[in-house]
Amino acid sequence: MQTRLFIGNEWREATSGATLEVVNPATEELLATVHAAGEADVDAAVTAARACFESDPWRAFSGRKRGALLHRAAQLLHERGDELAEMETRQNGKPLFESKIDVASTVETLTYYAGWADKLAGDVLPVDGPDFVFTQREPIGVVGAIVPWNFPLNLASWKVAPALAVGCTVVLKPAPETPLTALALAEIMLEAGFPPGAINVIPGDGPTTGAALVRHPGVDKIAFTGSTPVGRQVMRDAAGTLKRVTLELGGKSPNIVFADADLKAAVRGAQTGIFYGKGEVCAAGSRLLVERSVHDHVVEELVARAAKLAPGDPFDKDTRIGALASRRQFDKVMSYVEAGKREAKLVTGGTATKVNGKGYFVEATVFDDAEPGMKIVEEEIFGPVLAVLTFDDVDEAVQLANRTIYGLAAGVWTKDIKKAFTVARAVRAGTVWVNSYNLYDSAAPFGGFKGSGFGRDLGREALDGYTDVKTVWVGLR
Ligand code: NAI
Ligand code: MG
């Protein structure tokens, strides 16, 4: 297990000697003491990334060669899949089966962008006149990637893979709670054969390490996933050097169940929408909007299912709810549970628990009779806590769905195709799942409307975030 900074293909100790402690949230045990990058280390990492980006060897790397390295990294990651999944579960607290999905999806993302590396082409433009005008896409330069602790490895790949594919170089700052799989990714990139400085990994906290990366004049673009308040701060800090910024922020996503839906499927979708990943999922379906005539039935069925989801040892194959990622997140979630008990009607869960006497576990929790204006309806909780609201018709459903500062995702459950398309079109969200929830694919762009940020991870669209367009005029007059 690596615990040092990865800069210029070398493992280095933090200049200041600063460290951070990585704790297993299910056992409260210390997992590792990891070096924490200070300003001097951030500068060293950016310098290494810059030198690589501007070096003749990296410039000479064809897209096909970069693609081959990404393919090799995907293969190596796949070979270490079990080990990485266990590492992810130990540092994040999520059930092992979820970590295995994360690893498989990371392999897929690396493979997907390996495929794009030699397929980025420009256009020849039909200008008025004899001149020959074409565009080409060029890598933006040095990318600072800042990722959170909920999908540590997977979200790192969402940024690292497209950035490297197009020829950018990267400084990745993982969350202080979960740096271990990002360091393992560095190990894999090294073994795959990326040259020094192409990818650097510098664990550290937000205010010190993250902010230094955002402000650094040698960084051309920040790709950020995290909370909306920090997203605002990142934008402010990036303004000084006019960096490009893409922000994938929080959400309060509506999951809308119409009376004519396949209710069994809808209840299952409501369950995974909020309880998968312990609800520490940016796209979590944290507001369940149910049509009045089926409300009682849907809530009853959901409560019956949720009551069976006892938090358990993340390494137990039957566990569906693991430990929240940190003490801090646990405290935050429990404060919302207390607010919910004052504001709405608790119908299941609502209690903190321990497994084998330890850990930051919270029961699958459902609040009924929730209304706009309540804290549990307005604010991102980022835990296994659902607010159920009721509506009477399509218009009201859409109004409630859009009554939020966020716009990351939404679900709509109905057998009526017209209703499904009408709502999918009317909801202001970056992703709408029809008769499904929480589906992802490397080919499908993901990101926010409104307060959920801008720019897209995944898909062809993500490549736009790591390239600038150059227009070349060849005068023929
Ligand atoms: P956060 O937004 O502080 O952390 C995300 C990343 O940003 C981490 O790597 C962190 O070190 C870094 N960071 C923090 N402050 C920074 C700064 N000033 N400059 C640059 N980088 C900075 O999220 P946090 O505090 O861990 O969680 C708080 C809440 O944020 C959660 O309860 C949840 O509601 C939300 N959140 C949303 C996520 C999403 O995927 N949309 C992911 C993580 C948290
Ligand atoms: Mg924070």
pLDDT in tens, 222-247: 999 999 999 999 999 999 999 999 99
pLDDT tens digits, residue range 277-290? 999 999 999 999 99
Place of tokens 């040698």: 218
- Residue 92 CB partners (closer than 8 Å, separation 6+): 25, 99, 149, 150, 152, 177, 178, 322, 325
CA 273: distance to chain centroid? 15
- Residue 204 CB partners (closer than 8 Å, separation 6+): 18, 20, 36, 37, 38, 41, 42, 173, 176, 210
pLDDT attached to residue 430: 98
Q: How confident is the model at residue 173 (pLDDT cuts 50, 70, 90)?
A: very high
434 C-alpha vs ligand 2 centroid, how far in Å? 32
As a whole number of angstroms, the longest Cα–Cα distance in the chain is: 81
| DSSP code per residue over 68-86 | HHHHHHHHHHHHTHHHHHH
Mean pLDDT score, 61-69: 97
Q: Are 366 and 302 in contact (CB under 8 A)?
A: yes
Nearest CA to 228 out of 448, 471, 56, 51 is that of 448
Place of tokens 């951070």: 20
pLDDT above 90: percentage of residues in the chain: 100
Best residue for ligand 1 mutational test, from 334, 382, 452 (most atoms within 8 Å of Cβ): 382
pLDDT attached to residue 183: 98
pLDDT attached to residue 431: 98
Instruction: Give per-residue burial for 223-240: e unless 16+ CB within 10 Å, then b.
Output: bbbbbbebbebbbebbee
pLDDT attached to residue 454: 98
The residue contributing the CA closest to ligand 1 atom 6 is: 148
DSSP 195: P
Tell me how far apart the alpha carbons of residues 57 and 25 are, in angstroms, rounded to a whole number: 43
pTM summary value: 0.98
pLDDT attached to residue 121: 94
Mean pLDDT score, 134-142: 98
Q: How confident is the model at residue 361 (pLDDT cuts 50, 70, 90)?
A: very high
Read off the amino acid at residue 78. Answer: H
Tell me how far apart the alpha carbons of residues 42 and 324 are, in angstroms, rounded to a whole number: 29
pLDDT attached to residue 411: 98
pLDDT tens digits, residue range 417-431? 999 999 999 999 999
pLDDT above 70: percentage of residues in the chain: 100
Quick check: CB of 226 below 6 Å from ligand 1? yes
Quick check: CB of 46 below 6 Å from ligand 1? no
Nearest CA to 381 out of 443, 323, 338 is that of 338
CA end-to-end span of the chain: 63
pLDDT tens digits, residue range 294-317? 999 999 999 999 999 999 999 999
**Which pair of tokens denotes residue 273?**
């929408």
Which atom of ligand 1 lies nearest, measured to the CA of 408? 41
397 three-state secondary structure: helix
Quick check: CB of 223 below 6 Å from ligand 1? no
pLDDT attached to residue 266: 98
Place of tokens 């979590």: 284
pLDDT tens digits, residue range 181-199? 999 999 999 999 999 999 9
Tell me how far apart the alpha carbons of residues 37 and 203 are, in angstroms, rounded to a whole number: 6
Quick check: CB of 235 below 6 Å from ligand 1? no
- Average predicted confidence (pLDDT) for the chain: 98
Which atom of ligand 1 lies nearest, measured to the CA of 452? 41
pLDDT attached to residue 279: 98
Q: Are 281 and 257 in contact (CB under 8 A)?
A: no
Place of tokens 């589906």: 439
The residue contributing the CA closest to ligand 1 atom 42 is: 226
Q: How confident is the model at residue 451 (pLDDT cuts 50, 70, 90)?
A: very high
pLDDT attached to residue 206: 98
**Which pair of tokens denotes residue 304?**
């019956």
Instruction: Give per-residue burial for 355-389: e unless 16+ CB within 10 Å, then b.
Output: beeebbbbbbbbbbbbeeebbbbebbbbbbbbbbb
pLDDT attached to residue 435: 98
pLDDT attached to residue 270: 98
Read off the amino acid at residue 406. Answer: Y
How buried is residue 5: exposed, middle or buried, by Cβ count under 10 Å (0-12/13-18/19+)? buried
